[in-house]
Structure 1
Amino acid sequence: MPAIPNDMLETPATISGQLMQKLDELLSYFKNGFGEFLWNLIMVVAILMLAKLALALVSTMTKSAMQKEKYHRTPEQGKRVNTMMTLLRSAARYAIYFIAILLILREFNLFESMKGLVVTAGIGSLAIGFGAQSLVKDVVTGFFMMFENQFSVGDYIKTEDAEGTVEATAMRVTYLRTFEGEQVIIPNGSISRVVNYSRGDNVAVITISTAYEADTRAVLEVIERAVSRYARENPDLVKEPPIVQGITAFAASSVDIGVICKVNTMKQWQVERGMRLAVKEEFDRCGIEFPYPHVVTMQYTPSEHQPMQNFKHDEGTTRSDLPEWANVEDD
């Protein structure tokens, strides 16, 4: 018969006895090692305070760099510096949190056990087990986007899912602010295509619908006069004179005329609205109407020779104008 271990002999058989034993062990631990436990708590608080101080220091340094004029001599340089500072702030935040967690685990003698777990399970399998594959993808994609200078803080961009102004860039996500004021947080790994409206010149494009009955050549001259006057009055918006392309499409109830104009960066929407207003005002002065749906209401009057047939008849009556099977009554 094999020998029974001593720890099994000392373990109470009942649940209440086991619970009391664990309570006694816990009280014995606090009695004998309470000073060490209290010291560990003090060290944890000190580590958290130092981490918070380091985060505040990094935030102050990056904010100071973003406000210095020597780093903002040109708009592009300023955007680049702001982007790098926000990225540095994000990377420093992750690094400080990681170091603080390791120091806290070390204070409670958990670092060695965690290190043994990592070595046993393998770093790769542990990362995949915690779903860190997408995290690594977000971080790597974010670094490539920043170093390739695909966009900067302050640029107006469009991705697959959102469109807005870049507020900040982090290691894992990008923050956008839409026209409606909504903040959109996009993981960097999900960004595969970026349209940057803030790089280079833009083109304002409008389509003007005119009536089929109007003289198209005369309408083209009116549109040319209206958009040219608008360009002369707004030289700070328009970079090159507008071009009236002519007829671009024959719609169901209108002749569409296109106008394009090369404008300064991020001014295309303002110029489009301005040119539409200029064309509308010029059309009003010249008496040219825009096409719109016309509804004609006609009252129907039955003819005396062809009176309206009333298909409603009393139950039990027959109709001579209906087939024989239709006059059969249900039982």
Structure 2
Amino acid sequence: MTSNITNDMLETPASISGQILKKLDHVADYFKDNAGELLWNLMMIAAILILAKLALYLISRGTKSAMQKQMYHRSEKQGKRIDTMMTLLRSAARYVVYFIAILLILKQFNLFESMKGLIVTAGVGSFAIGFGAQSLVKDVVTGFFMMFENQFSVGDYIKTDNFEGTVEATAMRVTYLRTFKGEQVIIPNGTISRVVNYSRGDNVAIITVSTSYEADTQKIMQLIEQAVKQYASENMDVIKEPPVVQGITAFESSSVQISVMCKVHSMKQWQVERGMRLAVKEMFDKSGVAFPYQRIVKMDYTPEKKLTNDDIPKGKEKKDKIPEWANIEDDE
């Protein structure tokens, strides 16, 4: 026994390449001895991934089918609500399926129990992970309450603190907006603190017409009323109540401001505002009424003749040219 220990201690240490080859031999022996178990684990992992993909496909197909069914879209409000719930369900299902798949894969390599014990015992690490995921948790919780309170739905035109656009989709963590320019904006739900929803209820179209102080205001108001009422009669599909001329709302430095208000259907306020402005402009052109605008007057300036010493009066001549009211005595 003593001779064997002595012989092992006296062995020459192997070189780096020899150590690497020795480790590779151990790995090869491990794969050779456990080839069947490793192959089975790989097959189970492939099956788990295939089932996860299949589950996500079925969920996506089911939600898409629900969003396209006419029975769930009997009204615009109901349709938007269903679309919102389906996109949210799709997002939540994706997280759940991926989480379960990862746990099953770890279990195949007997890592689940080890990680569970590690998470339970590593209190400081758990606190650090929780602190780092604080923003993620805030996004998910805020998104859940926004959907639960039905603050907005897919298809609504909304304005948040910094962005404005149409809601394309809602997820557990983010909201997708499409702006007027076609840009897609992805907003974390936790950063949304205020929402203005333009798609809920009726809207009001308001325009302000600038008129000159010299014009007859009563006549101008009659022309404006005639123009906007004619426009309203031709566009009853977007206007809910006839437009009303509010009268003078402000006196500016070079114009009198007259406002017009009109109640319109949801999301039609910008269209009606543009139409009423065009109708007023055409009515003013037809009636010969001019809009006030800033004018720049250019005046020709010719400097007077420059005085010389010969032009300055002296002696008696100086006294004669001094007005009596000046009361200045001549020193000469």
With normalisation by structure 2, the TM-score equals 0.84
Summarize the Cα distance change of 1:290–1:11 in structure 2 as closer, same or farther, 3 Å threshold: farther
- The structure with the largest alpha-carbon Rg is 2
**Paired residue type of 1:43:** M
Give the structure 2 partner of residue 236 of structure 1. Answer: 237
Give the structure 1 partner of residue 254 of structure 2. Answer: 253
Structure 2 gap ranges (5+): 309-332
Cα deviation for residue 27 of structure 1 reads 2.7
Summarize the Cα distance change of 1:122–1:9 in structure 2 as closer, same or farther, 3 Å threshold: farther
Secondary structure of 2:46's aligned partner: helix
Summarize the Cα distance change of 1:40–1:300 in structure 2 as closer, same or farther, 3 Å threshold: farther
**d(CA) in 2 for partners of 1:203 and 1:59?**
39
Secondary structure of 2:250's aligned partner: strand
The alignment's C-alpha RMSD in Å is: 2.5
Summarize the Cα distance change of 1:13–1:236 in structure 2 as closer, same or farther, 3 Å threshold: same
**Paired residue type of 2:248:** I
- Deviates further, 40-49 or 270-279: 40-49
Asked if the contact 1:55–1:96 (Cα under 8 Å) also holds between the matched residues in 2, the reply is yes
Summarize the Cα distance change of 1:302–1:66 in structure 2 as closer, same or farther, 3 Å threshold: same
Asked if the contact 2:206–2:261 (Cα under 8 Å) also holds between the matched residues in 1, the reply is yes
With normalisation by structure 1, the TM-score equals 0.84
**d(CA) in 2 for partners of 1:10 and 1:92?**
60
Summarize the Cα distance change of 1:12–1:177 in structure 2 as closer, same or farther, 3 Å threshold: farther
**d(CA) in 2 for partners of 1:145 and 1:43?**
39
Structure 1 gap ranges (5+): 308-331
Give the structure 1 partner of residue 274 of structure 2. Answer: 273
Q: CA offsets per residue over residues 206-235 of structure 1, 9 Å max, x none?
A: 111112222222111111111111111111
Give the structure 2 partner of residue 303 of structure 1. Answer: 304
**Paired residue type of 1:76:** K
- Deviates further, 12-21 or 297-306: 12-21
Q: Which runs of 4+ in 1 moved over 6 A?
A: 8-11
**d(CA) in 1 for partners of 2:96 and 2:306?**
94
Question: How many residue pairs get matched?
Answer: 302
**d(CA) in 2 for partners of 1:90 and 1:9?**
65
**d(CA) in 2 for partners of 1:117 and 1:277?**
71
Cα deviation for residue 294 of structure 1 reads 1.3
Summarize the Cα distance change of 1:37–1:202 in structure 2 as closer, same or farther, 3 Å threshold: same
Paired residues for 1:42-191 under 5 Å:
42-122=43-123, 125-126=126-127, 128-129=129-130, 131-191=132-192
Secondary structure of 2:132's aligned partner: coil
Summarize the Cα distance change of 1:75–1:10 in structure 2 as closer, same or farther, 3 Å threshold: farther
Asked if the contact 1:127–1:133 (Cα under 8 Å) also holds between the matched residues in 2, the reply is no
**d(CA) in 1 for partners of 2:79 and 2:183?**
24
**Paired residue type of 1:137:** K
**Paired residue type of 2:257:** D
- Deviates further, 11-20 or 97-106: 11-20
